[in-house]
Structure 1
Amino acid sequence: MLIKEEFLKKYNIAENEFRSANISFRELERIYNHYCSLEPKLRSISRDFLDEYLYDTERAGIHSYRYRLKEPGHLIEKIIRKRNDSLDSYQEIDSTNYYKYITDLIGIRVFFLYREDWRGFHEYITGRFENNPEHYVEDRLRDFDEDPGHWYIAERPKSYRRIGDTKIYDKNLIDIKSDGIYRSIHYIVKYKGYYVELQARTLFEEGWSEVDHDIVYPYFQNDVMLKDFSTLLNRLSGMADEMSSYFRRLKEAKERYQMEEDRHSL
């Protein structure tokens, strides 16, 4: 059950922000209640996806993974925020169609040891799901495929990288965005009637993201001091990734050198 005053206070939403979203609290309650009833089904779908595609981490080319369902209150908060950011795009959202708009009700994160490992996972996931640009969603309602048996990648994969990062991504395979400090690769997969958001990043990137999400995002994004500390931590995580990749290249070079030494000693 949602109580308006308690909800707005908990999620740091000002009354004028709520009003500018131009959606009744009664409709938000209906979305909230419907989503709560949908959670068991989404949890089952999540586990099916994990068992089928990610449980064998070696086959998937990843170090590890984790998953979560969006918390009901965060769903309502996100709808308010999205309507404030782009009312036209979310004008028609309601309790009968919100799952067509919100693509991260099921969220899965996969982790790499090294940034360069993204390509192996990209080939893996695009080899398991149809990746046809004709199926990429542009209009959330018009383009939603009602067939739960059609499993496919619903948006062009995107890589978010920090300006100055090593250029390891292939723009022919993935959109590359370099307008912030956030680092991750995003895939939206339509699976068993619902969207699954896959976020792929290194363990160091995940560490920064968790701290930033816990302290800064989304309620203190305008706090200069907290943003400065988060930016510093982000730089450190990037340096750690660069060093990790360097370690691996150094190890591979030493192994090649040793093989040459062994060959010449025969």
Structure 2
Amino acid sequence: MSMIQQAEFLSTYNLNSADLKATNLNYEELLNISADFESKKAAYDEIGTGVVKILFKFDAVHAIKYQIQNSEELIANLVAYKLQHPEVILDLTTYEALIENLISIRIIPLFKSDWAKIHDSIVDQFVVIGNMTANVRVEDAATTTKAFTDKGCTLKTQSDGYRSVDYVIKTAPSKKEYKVAVQVRNIFEEGWAEIDHSARYKNKMDSQILNEFSKTLNKLAGGADEMGEFIHGLQSYLEAQETLVQQQQTLVEEQQVELENLRAELAKTKLTEKTSNSSEGMLGKDIIEDLAKTAAAIDGGSVPTETPISAIKTTPEPAQEKASEKAPVKTEEKLIDSTAAATEKTIEEKPKTVKNRTDKPKAVKLKEVKISEEKPKVEMLPVVEDLFGQTRIPDAAPLKPSVTNA
């Protein structure tokens, strides 16, 4: 490592010999501390890299800047710290515990409101040493500063417009503890701070023109920050509305599908009922036709369907009545036998009533039976006259002559 000369160092960091004398440190002691840190730099770099890997997993982290102090910056920090704390003993054995920004990490979110998420993650994952400081502008709204105090941060107003939230965390991967300085500021605050640091702070320039332009740029950065917050909020609102619309569309589509299913079920039910009624009617027709064929095969007759009982003719035709009136009277025994025979024949020929599938009786026409009543033939015996002039049946005993009184 090339050691910077004292004169060059004082000129670069806008210091003078009186400032160095006030620290009660000579420049050689400062160079020895710087050399000791250079020998330990690799270990510090490994610790810092491990912390960065953890921070990158936090929600809302857009970018991270990480650095280990170089030799010149370390000497400048030692002088500044000793000027602020003249009573503290600063040497090779104490500088690591006293200087908190040997490892510096800056977390950059896009929007200022994302700070709260990062803050919660830092407090949850690391041990925070000392106070958490929120650097704010005089122009910052009360709502902004209240968000910091609600999280336990101490407010510190910066007249030049510098803004950030500063933490010092502790990590101990081994027996030795390391301190890490962590800053959180959004992308607009980071842009202004880098420009201001390069133009004014680094070279300790106190120019009225630079100061005014820096303040103007700070206001523009603040306006851009507020515009970014508005866009961020509008984006969240539009996403919520789009999600709501998609949920409603999904609900409508599900209801349409359910309606189509109900329509299909209704149509299927109607078709089933129609098919059932049609099959039932065809089955009844087939049964009737089979019965008709069976009846025809038995006696050559037919079985007409749905013939009312009142239509069956049971009275004799006029011609039959006339023939019956003219028929001679038979003897009592023959007449009984003839009537019984006719009745028995009628009963045998009367078809049985046929029931269909629905158990509704069908009227069946009775086969008309004509009772034949033929005129009995009467054998006429010859009639002869006897000697006395009287008629008689042959072979009958002759009549006795009548006795007349003389």
TM, length-normalised to structure 2: 0.55
Report the secondary structure of 2:162's partner residue.
coil
Q: How does 1:5-24 map to 2 (within 5 A)?
A: 5-24=7-26
Instruction: Tell me the equivalent position of 2:156.
Output: 177
Question: 1: CA distance between counterparts of 2:200 and 2:115?
Answer: 27
Question: 2: CA distance between counterparts of 1:176 and 1:6?
Answer: 37
Instruction: Tell me the equivalent position of 1:28.
Output: 30
Residue 171 of structure 1: how far off its partner (Å)? 0.9
Q: How does 1:77-226 map to 2 (within 5 A)?
A: 77-88=76-87, 91-129=88-126, 152-166=127-141, 167-168=143-144, 169-173=147-151, 174-180=153-159, 181-192=161-172, 193-226=177-210
Matched, 1:55 2:39: no
Q: Which moved more, 1:103-112 or 1:79-88?
A: 79-88
Matched, 1:229 2:213: yes
TM, length-normalised to structure 1: 0.82
Residue 5 of structure 1: how far off its partner (Å)? 2.1
Question: 1: CA distance between counterparts of 2:8 and 2:157?
Answer: 37
Of structures 1 and 2, the larger Rg is shown by 2
Question: 1: CA distance between counterparts of 2:148 and 2:80?
Answer: 32
Instruction: Tell me the equivalent position of 1:141.
Output: none
Report the residue type matching 1:200 in the other structure: V
Change (3 A) 1:220 1:5: closer
Residue 261 of structure 1: how far off its partner (Å)? 5.8
Report if aligned partners of 1:221, 1:227 keep a CA contact under 8 Å in 2: no
Deviations 1:16-40 (CA, angstroms, capped at 9, x unpaired): 2222222111211111111111111
Root-mean-square deviation (CA), in Å? Answer: 2.0
Question: 2: CA distance between counterparts of 1:258 and 1:153?
Answer: 40
Deviations 1:100-126 (CA, angstroms, capped at 9, x unpaired): 111111000111111011111111111
Deviations 1:117-160 (CA, angstroms, capped at 9, x unpaired): 1111111111112xxxxxxxxxxxxxxxxxxxxxx211221111
Report the residue type matching 2:104 in the other structure: G
Question: 2: CA distance between counterparts of 1:197 and 1:84?
Answer: 20
Change (3 A) 1:194 1:260: closer
Change (3 A) 1:41 1:259: closer
How many pairs does the alignment contain? 239
Report the residue type matching 2:96 in the other structure: Y
Question: 2: CA distance between counterparts of 1:74 and 1:50?
Answer: 21
Residue 86 of structure 1: how far off its partner (Å)? 3.5
Report the secondary structure of 1:216's partner residue.
helix
Deviations 1:210-235 (CA, angstroms, capped at 9, x unpaired): 11111111432532222222111111
User: What residue ranges of structure 1 are gaps of 5+ in the alignment?
Assistant: 130-151
Residue 48 of structure 1: how far off its partner (Å)? 1.4
Q: Which moved more, 1:165-174 or 1:37-46?
A: 165-174
Report if aligned partners of 1:160, 1:177 keep a CA contact under 8 Å in 2: yes
Question: 1: CA distance between counterparts of 2:240 and 2:59?
Answer: 27
Change (3 A) 1:93 1:60: farther
Matched, 1:70 2:77: no
